[in-house]
């Protein structure tokens, strides 16, 4: 979210959002869109209460086994794949991959005329764990403790 927010056009007026401020706001629940954990747990709990209405998945789960989760999503939407459709699943996984989607010219565009957020702000690395390059061990433990709670 820190990377994403720093790409917003409005940030240009005030300068970048410093990571220390972003961490403090995140940990105290002051964050774009509201408190992060309230948001995530609201959907997580709703998905457990109404599993036929809400499909919940984390980015880490999706990255770990994309093919399985594409099949789960298709089943959730009422269009499960048949056994003979494995090639279609593979094609969907390939065409929805970070590498393919981020390579489209439209997703590299930095200054769309009608949308306030540059399209390229939705793509960074497509990897899990990059936070280790920005946060020290104490901050990571602080956020991990909030996550466990």
Render pLDDT for 61-118 as a digit per residue (tens, 0 to 9): 999 999 999 999 999 999 999 988 999 999 999 999 988 988 888 777 666 566 667 7
In whole angstroms, give the CA distance from residue 56 to residue 41.
10
18: exposed, middle or buried (Cβ count in 10 Å: 0-12, 13-18, 19+): exposed
Render pLDDT for 12-61 as a digit per residue (tens, 0 to 9): 567 778 899 999 999 999 887 789 999 999 999 999 999 999 999 998 89
Q: Are 117 and 7 in contact (CB under 8 A)?
A: yes
Continuous segment of H or E residues that includes residue 3: helix 2-6
CA distances from 95 to 51, 90, 139 (A): 27, 9, 36
| Closest to 1 (Cα-Cα) out of 134, 97, 93, 138 | 134
pLDDT of residue 82: 93
């Amino acid at each position: 979210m820190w990377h994403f927010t720093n790409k917003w056009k409005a940030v240009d007026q005030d300068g970048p959002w410093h990571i220390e401020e972003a961490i403090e706001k995140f940990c105290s629940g002051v964050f774009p869109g509201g408190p992060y954990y309230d948001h995530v747990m609201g959907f997580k709990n709703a998905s457990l209460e109404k599993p036929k209405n809400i499909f919940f998945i984390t980015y880490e789960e999706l990255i770990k086994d994309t093919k399985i989760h594409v099949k789960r999503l298709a089943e959730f939407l009422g269009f499960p794949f048949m056994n003979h459709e494995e090639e279609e699943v593979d094609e969907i996984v390939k065409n929805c991959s970070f590498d393919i989607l981020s390579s489209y010219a439209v997703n590299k565009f930095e200054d769309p005329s009608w949308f306030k957020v540059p399209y390229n702000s939705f793509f960074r690395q497509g990897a899990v764990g990059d936070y280790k390059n920005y946060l020290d061990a104490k901050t990571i433990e602080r956020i991990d403790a909030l996550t466990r709670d």
